[in-house]
């Protein structure tokens, strides 16, 4: 896989909006990896739709966000170049990276994440050089 920008989506019991989220991110030029962290069989259709535009990795049981992150990063580090940029995105689309975040992700950092700070309603970003 040649693309240097990869979106990593960690998903447990996602709603049907995840397929649209995957499409929106794909349209920005990112490769996409989704980790199904042990979702129920009722969610198989959501992952099947997302698989049209993403690689889907699956845990047979819920192992938690940390393990899902490790699974996704291990896959990415084994399949993509060492200088790729990884952007983590919430499966529900609530904390999607905006245009500014995606522009910043073009820098040569290894991991870029967006999250909402508790009780403040603000969005924060962090970059980690590996």
3-state secondary structure of 71: helix
SS percent in the chain: helix, strand, coil, step 5: 30, 30, 40
Sort 11 into a burial class: Cβ within 10 Å, 0-12 / 13-18 / 19+.
buried
Q: Which of 32, 40, 35, 50 is nearest to 13 (CA)?
A: 40
Each of the 130 residues of the chain gets a pLDDT tens digit; together they read 456 889 999 999 999 999 999 999 999 889 999 999 999 999 999 999 999 999 999 999 999 999 999 999 999 999 998 788 888 888 877 766 655 555 454 444 455 555 544 555 544 444 443 3
Q: Can you give the pLDDT at residue 112?
A: 53
What predicted TM-score, i.e. pTM, was given to this entire model? 0.76
């Amino acid at each position: 896989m040649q693309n240097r920008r990869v979106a990593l989506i960690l998903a447990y019991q996602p709603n049907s909006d995840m397929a649209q989220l995957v499409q929106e991110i794909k349209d920005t030029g990112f490769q996409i990896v989704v980790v199904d962290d042990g979702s129920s069989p009722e969610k198989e259709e959501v992952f099947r739709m997302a698989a049209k535009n993403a690689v889907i990795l699956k845990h047979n049981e819920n192992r938690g966000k940390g393990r899902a992150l490790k699974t996704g990063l291990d896959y990415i580090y084994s399949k993509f170049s060492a200088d790729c940029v990884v952007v983590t995105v919430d499966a529900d689309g609530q904390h999607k990276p905006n245009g500014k975040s995606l522009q910043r992700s073009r820098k040569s950092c290894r991991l870029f994440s967006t999250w909402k700070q508790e009780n403040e309603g603000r969005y924060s970003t962090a970059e980690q050089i590996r």
